[in-house]
Structure 1
């Protein structure tokens, strides 16, 4: 029996590793317009203006770029316990830890590819200081005065040695719903998009061409409008941030996008998916073929080679 819908409430925060903490924090605060929420254990806590929790991104110094942890908030303490039991019954290892970045007791496990997944329920709601107090009481924080002003952490796209075992773990153990996928002519599932909410996707797994495990393709942040993404492209151009591809529109999920590399080397997507929701409880899995993907993005832009080869940590 599949897990009940809603045991995982939403994507909470991610911990990104970087060999250039100052550069990475500069990018998130000055270019994306995020706010520093605190520092702990050598890490910098950052937040978008519309995330209600204390932390959206944890930036941690490391010898290479990459992702250490993805934190998912459960919808209740009972839901958290149910997912932990399901993980343990599936035979995966896990452990309880003290929460960090504003979270309470946290259960840490890994997906089959080795990406660290943390589940929690208790969390600190953000209390804005006077200089960031919003004009509307139903908004966590005033909109930023600088940068793009990204609204929220939107999704994580992992690279995986094999997609299918990972997405089956998310579906059968955590309760994620698949919405779209790419299936090659060989029958191999090359990518699959999954959601815990009525957003069209929260997590994505893409086949790593190198066969490596545990790497990151990108982390994405949602903007209010497409015009924000055009502004982001100009800001990156003016400030020497490498633009990989876009602005343009994806065929899969129809997201308007811009991909850049932050100074530490991680790929970051600025996306505007706010107009597309999956409301149907019986949404059929949409499958794209190899030939259909060869046509490129929605308006004909061909997918550039680095989109298939760049990931973090970089290959030796």
Structure 2
């Protein structure tokens, strides 16, 4: 049992402290040993076929994480591609909740899947749609979920109450995860469903916002909660991360969020990056420094971190850990740079 638990420890840290029975079997740990580990208090059963180490912190989205792992129980999380024909992406009201928006009452965990699939678990709901693209999928707490733009479209397709959708739109726009102009273009096909005239996305958006006492102009000029001025440390750390992540295909959303974080309109390091890394103990110092940016006292720490990442001997490991936290595929061993000349600082460097 001790050897089995030690072996599991090398893997569960990359999966929110969880392991499936099939994954454990691939390591040579049989069902009897798993049962004994559970009986001894080392493991808990989260859902059928999915266990969590009792020493792991209970995550707020543990139910969704376990459900996603159970979709492909024999494959490790870091080996999975969200758009694989055998995989699925969390969507609809589940995606809204994972993004932290709205107050939809959720009784099931919703997945969008490219082909028909069934489950004996009554708390799972599947929407068949093979039209998802990379632009429709992002990460939330390490899970593949539909973007807020795609999520709003999915909710409109379900004909969810307009006031609920309007609340989600307002909250997402206020924190910079939705653009009103882009949203209006995408939701035009749903205007007829909500009996809006004319049949345009702008008219539908006005109709939805009206139900919570807002107009498009109101929302466009509404100050964002907690907005502050972008600091030099924000830009420095964001630019550093961009420099090291340049060229990584699986991290397009991360690069985009970091670029936005440099802009005054979306000041501060993106919460997306923090969420993507929150289960990686190796990045504890990086997370602390990013949280500290909100404090003037954190600027010196952030600068030190940036210098370390650019010039220090641990820079390569830092880049590898960031890539491993956000990439859909297995850990990368070589990370391409946008500009190889930046490897060695010169006299013109700040």
TM-score, normalised to structure 1's length? 0.28
Bigger RCO (CA 8 Å, 6+ sep): 1
Please identify which structure carries the higher helix content. 2
TM-score, normalised to structure 2's length? 0.26
Please identify which structure carries the higher strand content. 1
